[in-house]
Amino acid sequence: MFANFLNVSIPGRAVTGGLIGVNLVNLREFGKGNYRQLDDYAFGSGGMLFAAPQLKAALDSAIQNHESESKPFVVFPSPQGTLISQEIIETLSHHEHVIIICGHYEGIDERFIERYVDLEVSVGDCVITGGEIPAMMIVDSMSRLVPGVVGKNKAVIEDSFYRGMLDNPNYTRPAMWEGLEVPDVLLSGNAGKINHWRRRVASERTLTRRPDLISRASIREYLSDSVNIAVIAETSNVNLDGLYELSRAYSLGRPYIIAGSHELRAEMKTRYPEAKVKGRLPECKEDVLVIKIFAGARVNSNHSLEIKRRCLEHDGAILFVFSENEDSLERITEGISGYIYERDMNIPLNIKIGISLDKLLGKR
């Protein structure tokens, strides 16, 4: 089963080019008796299971024949495992030596799993003959993340699930086929408009088909280029150190600091010269989504996942508003309210802002 897989397409090129190494271990070589027996009847009735002693012998051989001294990471594809995801594949790709155990029949002895398996993974809620096909899928997914395996690294980054979102639809020639046209924007030659269209359609597709992905998705690149923070500062004790650095880290515009008195504005300009210090919130046009972020849950406030969904649905500028005094947020009439935590957290405002941005925008 593995012979063709390891000699064709992307995995084949990766192996041939020495970018990845795949060693196949034939379990039959470690079977017992004249028939090279690997399996036996399950105690208490049931089907056939791979026996622990034979599996241990094969595992020891795989470890001894690997040149690296690093501890291998052992994976067992099984229906009882964690549903495999891009995050799991990325984690596996950072291990120098991964061993995949291919089960069969009813599985393998649980004692072997408890002692030697680091991670059980499932490829979905279905039954297949054995672990070979999941193993191929894991090798294929991991190999794509090795530099040089895929021609353009950008292609890997833009794949579905890499940022937690689905990919945008793609088209090729002819521009008209069976009465269906390619979207005009893709024929315009305007790179800015094309990128905007792709982000918007990818967001719509994810929200419609896989809304469950939003909780772990990195959404910043799918939003408008105009996203800003505004902080309402009512006293000189407020700590906003790092506010500008946070804005840069999440590709946001220069932050606003809103201070009511002339004296406080003068102090804020001195302490935070990179920020835009104003006497009131910037005038928000109709296409600006204003989001007031509370530290704790409040009546009629939206959960952070709902805020992410609203952001993805909005095709325009976004302004996140924070304050050390939540009464000042409630006095803002426009926009929607959202909360990040179930209860207030007694930590400085600048740290709350950092946690909130990470939870909402998801920087990878």
Annotated active-site residue 159? The verdict is: yes
Annotated active-site residue 11? The verdict is: no
For residue range 43-98, what is the model confidence (pLDDT) as tens digits? 998 789 999 999 999 999 999 988 877 899 999 999 999 999 999 999 999 999 99
How many CB atoms within 10 Å of residue 6? 17
Q: Are 304 and 360 in contact (CB under 8 A)?
A: yes
Q: What is the pLDDT of residue 154?
A: 61
Q: What is the mean pLDDT of residues 179-192?
A: 97
Catalytic residue among 90, 132, 159, 234: 159
pLDDT band at 285 (very low <50, low <70, confident <90, very high): confident
Q: What is the mean pLDDT of residues 22-43?
A: 95
For residue range 289-324, what is the model confidence (pLDDT) as tens digits? 999 998 778 888 999 999 999 999 999 999 999 998
Catalytic residue among 29, 60, 87, 106: 106
Q: Under DSSP, is residue 122 helix (H, G, I), strand (E, B) or coil?
A: strand
Q: What is the mean pLDDT of residues 215-234?
A: 93
pLDDT band at 363 (very low <50, low <70, confident <90, very high): low
Catalytic residue among 109, 144, 220, 309: 144
pLDDT band at 328 (very low <50, low <70, confident <90, very high): very high
Annotated active-site residue 212? The verdict is: no
Cβ contacts of 174 within 8 Å, gap of 6 or more: none
What is the average pLDDT value for the chain, to the nearest integer?
92
d(CA 194, CA 187): 9
Annotated active-site residue 106? The verdict is: yes
Q: Are 318 and 354 in contact (CB under 8 A)?
A: no
d(CA 298, CA 58): 57
Q: Which two tokens stand for residue 360?
A: 């909402």
Exposed e or buried b per residue across 14-50, where buried means at least 16 C-beta atoms within 10 angstroms of its C-beta:
bbeeeebeeeebebeebbeeeeeebbeeeeeeeeebb
Q: Which two tokens stand for residue 328?
A: 């000042």
